[in-house]
Amino acid sequence: MSVYQVRVTETYAPGTDHPWSITRSVVSAELSPCLAPITVRLGRHRRRVRCGDRVPHAKQCRNCAPRIVVTEVRRITA
């Protein structure tokens, strides 16, 4: 399973309910081996790559499908 831990910073203007700026930073990333690698051909050359690099999210194996975990949300009033 691909797990990405993300830190979110929301910047608010004084007196508003919605942030005017949201910054997301990836803190760490853990990748697992692909269960269904795809063969890519270019001329006579062939290479096997992760399905997460080539196919849509709905068709990826469970190890390549990303899981996003928000570890910290920081709210700042500017």
Helix-strand-coil percent breakdown of the chain, rounded to 5? 10, 55, 35
Q: Which of 33, 34, 35, 29 is nearest to 3 (CA)?
A: 29
pLDDT on residue 51? 92
Q: SS3 for 51? A: helix
Give me the pLDDT at residue 31, please.
87
CA atoms within 13 A on the CB side of 64: 18
15-45 pLDDT per residue, tens:
888 999 999 999 999 988 999 999 999 999 9
Per-chain mean pLDDT for the chain? 92
Find where tokens 């803190």 sit: 27
Please compute the mean of the pLDDT values over residues 38-57 and round it to a whole number. 92
For the chain, the domains span 2-77
User: Alpha-carbon distance 5 to 27, whole Å?
Assistant: 5
- Please tell me the predicted confidence (pLDDT) of residue 35: 93
